[in-house]
Amino acid sequence: MNATRPVEQALWWLAAVPATMVIVVGFGFPLVQSVVASFTREGVLTLANYELVYRLYRQDVAYTIQVAAAGLALTFGIGIPLSGYLRLHRSQTAEFLLKVPLFVPFVVVGHAMRIFLAPRGTLLVGLHALGLASQDATLGIGEGALGLAVALAWKHLALVVLLLMGAFRGVGEEYLEAARGFGAGTFRQIWAVLVPMAAPSIGLAVVLSLTSMLASFSIPLMMSKGSGPQMLMIDLYYRYGQHGDFGVASAIGVVSYILAAGAAYYYLKGVTR
Amino acid sequence: MEVRVEGLIKRYGQVAALDGVSQTFPAGALTAVVGPSGCGKTTLLRCLAGFAVPDRGRVWMGDREVTYLPPQSRGTAMVFQSYALWPHMTVFENLAFALRLRRVPRGEVEQRVREALELVELDRVPEIERRRPRQLSGGQQQRVALARAIAVRPQVLLLDEPLSNLDAKVRHRVRVEIRALQRRTGITAIYVTHDQEEAMSIADVVVVMEGGRTAQAGPPEEVYARPASPFVAEFLGSTNVLAAVVGEDGRIRPAPGGTLIARAEDIRIIPPEETPPPGSAWAEGEVVDVLFLGAGYRAYVRIGDEVVMADHRTPLPRGAVRIVVPSEKLFSFSRD
Amino acid sequence: MAASGRRSAQDRPRGLSSLVLRAALVTVLLVAIVGPLAGLVLWSVAERWHWPAALPQQIGLKFWIRITQGDLLKALNRSVVIATVTTVAALAAAIPVSYGAARARLPLGPVVLMLFLLPQAFPQLPVFASATVLFYRWNLAGTFLGVVLIHLVGGLVYTVWTMTAVFRAIGEDVEEAAINLGASVTRTFFRISLPLALPGVVASAILVFIYSLDEFTGTLLVGAPYVTTLPVYMYTASLGYELQIASVTALVLMVPGILLLVLLERFLRAEYLAFFGRL
């Protein structure tokens, strides 16, 4: 199709402009603007915004990384053995159930987890009904880092299992049969064959989930109780929304870009491969 | 160890991959299971290996029934069509995997890996143990797969189309090596292939399968010389199949109910006026085409409505001829 | 034989212990996945619920009736209208890009494709906050158009990427056949390529519709205070500790996604699904 007439080619180009403009105006330009804003205060170039971020939010940076790491550990600690097991022993019911969180919006996950993990939330109600919790028990995880990590893992597990199952299915049956023929059980087939052979995809899934958890906003917003350490995106939102402090909010944003940039690098590399 | 199956039936949905197979695979011999794709040969092998469990029937290894045993408890080892060498492990790790699973002591693992590599003549390739499968040629990968299987010292070696991923030259060499290895070790080997020439050149016993059943089994020469059915005859050589019968005068004449089978190499072409030798069947025909095959020529001879292939040492002009087949080389079946 | 991979699943015998393990696994998953969602259902009908009762003391549809009236209905309406407009705009804008990229007619096609991925691969909140500042300057903040624009930013990736894959899957030879017979490139596109791509167009439309319906971050920032979609309404309700209203809204928000999951489970390919995780 090298014979496309120049006029038609130009028309295609022109037709591609609106979509491209949306991204440039709605994402590219704001991205640049926020980086610039993070270095300016009342029109003057300065590092003052970052000083403030360091002074007020350095613990929250650590907290954010902790929560993301815990969420990641939970997601993959469960996701890898689970996907491996389901690759070896197909269960349509389990696979269907695991897809459900994919279709539950982040805000809804946040709200559902809030009432589920609350000090006297529906989880505790259930435990009490089963006789597993006393009448004056309270659940201590809902508003802390652990509750957040659980909620993030709940939402991300679906995507991770989907990605891992895809990768594990890509491993030919004969590689597993060869191992099974020598007596390798489920566990060894997963760790000695599936995981190493699907390592690149697992890496991509880790990076994807990490970026998403570091930048998570709706889930912590729904679950946060407003005191104690916060996720960075919550800080950013309040800094911007309540204090109207775009400079500091942008500086927090740039910190999150840097956290995500390393991961995004691998992500894009993985996607283009 | 003698391997025996009795009345094996295995269905996949509507399709019977095995439709009642009973067969003995003699101890210490190389048995080739051959047949067109879909004949059930791979399913049979998988039932022997323990990767498939038959719906009905039994599998015996020696005097032990293994029908429901898992693969590792049967004393079998399998060589896969695609080799299934784990790409993330070195050659050493590939071979050591099974030995470690069996808790073979460390020093012995190394020794047995080396022995296995010697057996497949890979020990002289430099640094072979530390290479990964993708750094090896196809023939070398094939040998590593073989070594991995024999490293566990199986009593029965199962090979699933082990040569089909190699190019023709390497295939012939490795074929000879597999044969030599089997002779040297005296291991019972069962070899699945779709290539009849490969089967006959390598095997002590050939089992021809058709539609989930055994069509014929026996030494290759015997199966080749006395095919039990038109299917076997057709499958095993460049074969002519005619709907015809032989009259009392030896003349071949068309008959819808009869089936005559003769191989191209067994058909002689003589001038139309020459009298056929006694005890042979003959027909009048016309050479319509001649192909040069290198070692000789193949003539296409029209007889009535059908065309028969016949091999000939020298080039032939087109025109009227007679074809002659010695009676013992002509197989006659009557269609039910 | 190549068939061995497909077969093996039915080849293996199923032991009792493996059946028990599978049953246990499914049960644990059921509790872990349905558990938190079941809480939503209970709260949505709980007119009165005090610790430590296992079930609400008073059950009723009082809060569900709110869907048919007042704020909730308004938010629902607005959400659907915004999602519809966003979907149509995303399709119209994406088709030329996807087609151009798939046929390598768009110079720098791969780079352009990456561009659309950015909003999903990068932290959205800081960028959307920055976009809001811009939108205020352009009088787009708090407007319908502003919200649609911000939804397009995140949503275009679904249409662009899905349809690029679909157009790539359509053989260039069918187009060349038409052109060979004298049709113009444009005519070929509308008469041959687009009809063939229809399933992909529908799939990507569903994806972007659901994305828009669920979008929260951008709407919260750009839409405030005048444009309240369902997710934002839910957030406000939960801020005011109206757990029941928030739960009803949450369940309504889940309906399209779950419907899609049930109806299209067989047809949704893994690569379409993979995008969902980024909602």
- Phi/psi for A265 (5° steps) reads -60, -50
pLDDT tens digits for range B1-17: 899 999 999 998 888 89
Q: How far is C145 from chain A (nearest CA, A)?
A: 12
Higher pLDDT, B335 or B156: B156
Strand partners, B281: B325
Burial B302-320 (b: 16+ CB within 10 A, else e): ebeeebbbbbbeeebeeee
Selection from B320, B315, B285 nearest residue B303 by Cα: B285
Distance linking the first and last C-alpha atoms of chain A: 26
* Predicted pLDDT of residue C279: 31
Q: What is the mean pLDDT of chain B?
A: 89
Q: Which two tokens stand for residue C80?
A: 């659907």
Residue of A21, A22, A95, A238 to mutate, interface with C, max C Cβ within 10 Å: A22
Query: In this predicted model, what pLDDT tens digit does every residue of A42-62 receive, in sequence order?
Result: 888 888 888 888 988 889 999
The Cα–Cα gap between B107 and B186 comes to 26
Strands B76-79 and B297-303: unpaired
Q: Sorting pLDDT into bands at 50, 70 and 90, what band is B42?
A: very high
- Residue C111's closest CA among C122, C100, C123? C100
Closest Cα in chain A to B50: A181
Q: Which two tokens stand for residue A243?
A: 């204090």
DSSP letter string over chain C? -TTHHHHHHHHS---HHHHHHHHHHHHHHHHHHHHHHHHHHHHHHEEE--TT-SS-SEE-STTGGGGGSHHHHHHHHHHHHHHHHHHHHHHHHHHHHHHHHHTT-STTHHHHHHHHHHHHHS-HHHHHHHHHHHHHHTT-TTSHHHHHHHHHHHHHHHHHHHHHHHHHHS-HHHHHHHHHTT--HHHHIIIIIHHHTHHHHHHHHHHHHHHHHH--HHIIIIITTT---HHHHHHHHHHTT-HHHHHHHHHHHHHHHHHHHHHHTTT--HHHHHHHTT-
Beta carbons within 8 Å of A73's beta carbon, 6+ residues apart: none
The DSSP output letter for B251 is B
> What pLDDT does C276 receive?
40
Smallest CA–CA separation between A192 and chain B, in Å? 9
Q: How far apart are CA B78 and CA B94, in angstroms?
A: 14
**Sequential pLDDT tens for chain C (279 residues):** 333 333 444 455 556 777 888 889 899 999 899 888 988 888 888 888 877 777 888 888 887 887 777 788 888 889 999 999 999 999 999 888 888 888 777 667 777 888 888 887 788 899 999 999 999 999 888 899 999 999 999 889 888 888 888 888 777 787 888 777 877 777 887 888 888 888 778 878 888 888 898 899 999 999 888 888 999 988 888 887 788 888 888 998 888 878 877 766 655 554 454 444 333
Q: What is the pLDDT of residue A67?
A: 93
Instruction: Give Cβ neighbours of residue B249 (< 8 Å, ≥ 6 apart).
Output: none
What is the value of ipTM here, to two decimals? 0.84
Residues in a beta bridge with B306: B303
- What's the count of helices (H) and strands (E) in chain A, helices before strands? 14, 2
CB B81 within 8 A of CB B162: yes
- Whether pLDDT at A26 is above 80: yes
Asked if the Cβ–Cβ distance from C4 to B46 is below 8 Å, we say yes
* Subunit contact A28:C131, Cβ cutoff 8 A: no
What whole-number distance in Å separates Cα of residue C243 and Cα of residue A114? 10
Q: What is the pLDDT of residue A272?
A: 58
What confidence score (pLDDT) does residue C15 get?
A: 67
- CA C279 – CA C272 distance, rounded (Å): 12
- For residue B85, how many C-alpha atoms fall within 13 Å in the half-sphere facing its CB? 29
Q: Which residues of A touch C234 (CB under 8 A)?
A: 107-108, 111
Contacts of C247 in chain A (CB under 8 A): 111, 115
Contact flag A183-B97 (C-beta cutoff 8 Å): no
Whether chain B has a CB inside 8 Å of the CB on A18: the answer is no
Closest-CA distance of chain B to residue A190, Å: 13
Smallest Cβ–Cβ distance between C125 and the set A103, A236, A246 belongs to: A236
Query: Would you call A28 an interface residue with chain C, using a CB distance cutoff of 8 Å?
Result: yes
Query: What subunits touch chain B, counting only 3 or more CB pairs under 8 A?
Result: A, C
Contact across the interface for A181 and B101, Cβ inside 8 Å: no
Helix (H) and strand (E) counts in chain B: 8, 20
Q: In angstroms, how far is CA A24 from the centroid of its own chain?
A: 24
Structure tokens at C112: 């352009």
* Tokens matching residue C231: 């997710």
Instruction: Report the pLDDT value the prediction gives residue B214, as an integer from 0 to 100.
Output: 92
pLDDT higher than threshold 70 for residue A221: yes
Ramachandran sector of residue A126 (left: φ over 0; alpha: ψ -120 to 50; beta: rest): alpha
Is A223 in CB contact (< 8 Å) with chain C? Answer: no
Residue A200 forms contact with B (CB below 8 Å) = no
Q: What is the DSSP letter of B179?
A: H
Round to whole Å and give the CA distance between C15 and C21.
10
Pairing of strands B297-303, B306-312: antiparallel
> Could you tell me where the DSSP H helices lie in chain B?
41-49, 91-101, 106-119, 138-151, 168-185, 196-202, 220-225, 230-235
Q: How far are the Cα atoms of B187, B235, B262, B292, C60 from residue B267, in angstroms, in the given order?
A: 40, 18, 7, 17, 93
Tell me which residue in A23, A105, A252 faces C279 most closely, judged by beta carbons: A105
Chain C closest CA to B5's CA: distance in Å? 18
**Token code pair at residue C271:** 């690569």
CA atoms within 13 A on the CB side of B154: 30
User: What confidence tier does A145 reach under pLDDT thresholds 50, 70, 90?
Assistant: confident
Put simply, whether C6 touches B (Cβ < 8 Å) is no
Least CB–CB distance from A31: residue in C94, C96, C127: C127
Q: Which two tokens stand for residue C195?
A: 């009809």
- Residue carrying the six token digits 């599936």: A194
3-class secondary structure, B213 = strand
pTM: 0.82
Give the tokens for residue A265: 């690098």
